[in-house]
């Protein structure tokens, strides 16, 4: 084993921002919402057909959603899918202290 120094760059915490994708906060929010939907579908052990029926979307759309292909899913549509999975959604808007990083979208689940 050598003592090579490995160069690296610390990420911003948002991979979409690091990759310079337009609207990175929106992409990250959609990814987090999709992960919550994925977790619910997995927890309920729903097959694609059953999930599609419950969500009111096609099986290919379920597959795209579960594989993170989210271009055809708006945040509003993901909210609607969560509601179809019997989840409440709470949105909190608050002022950002001036001495902190730029405003962001934060999504979390209740334990």
Give Cα 68 to chain centroid, integer Å.
Answer: 8
Per-residue pLDDT of the chain (111 residues; tens, 9 = 90+): 678 899 988 888 888 888 999 888 899 999 999 999 999 999 999 999 999 999 999 999 999 999 999 999 999 999 999 999 999 998 888 888 887 777 677 787 876
Alpha carbon separation from 15 to 11, 26, 27 (Å, rounded): 7, 12, 9
Supply the pLDDT for residue 9.
84
Supply the pLDDT for residue 12.
83
Domains with residue ranges and CATH for the chain: 15-84 (1.10.260.40)
User: Strands, DSSP E only, in the chain?
Assistant: none
Rounded Cα distance, 57 and 67, in Å: 15
Supply the pLDDT for residue 79.
96
**Exposed, middle or buried, 31 (CB in 10 Å: 0-12/13-18/19+)?**
middle
User: What's the predicted TM-score (pTM) here?
Assistant: 0.82
Altogether, the residues listed in the chain come to a count of 111
């Amino acid at each position: 084993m050598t003592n090579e120094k490995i160069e690296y760059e610390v990420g911003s915490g948002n991979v979409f921002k690091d990759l310079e994708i337009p609207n990175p906060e929106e992409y990250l929010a959609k990814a987090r919402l999709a992960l919550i939907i994925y977790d619910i579908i997995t927890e309920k052990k729903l097959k694609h057909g059953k999930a599609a029926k419950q969500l009111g979307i096609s099986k290919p759309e379920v597959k795209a959603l579960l594989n993170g292909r989210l271009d055809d899913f708006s945040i509003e549509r993901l909210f609607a899918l969560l509601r179809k999975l019997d989840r409440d959604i709470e949105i909190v808007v608050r002022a950002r202290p001036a001495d902190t990083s730029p405003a962001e979208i934060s999504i979390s689940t209740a334990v």
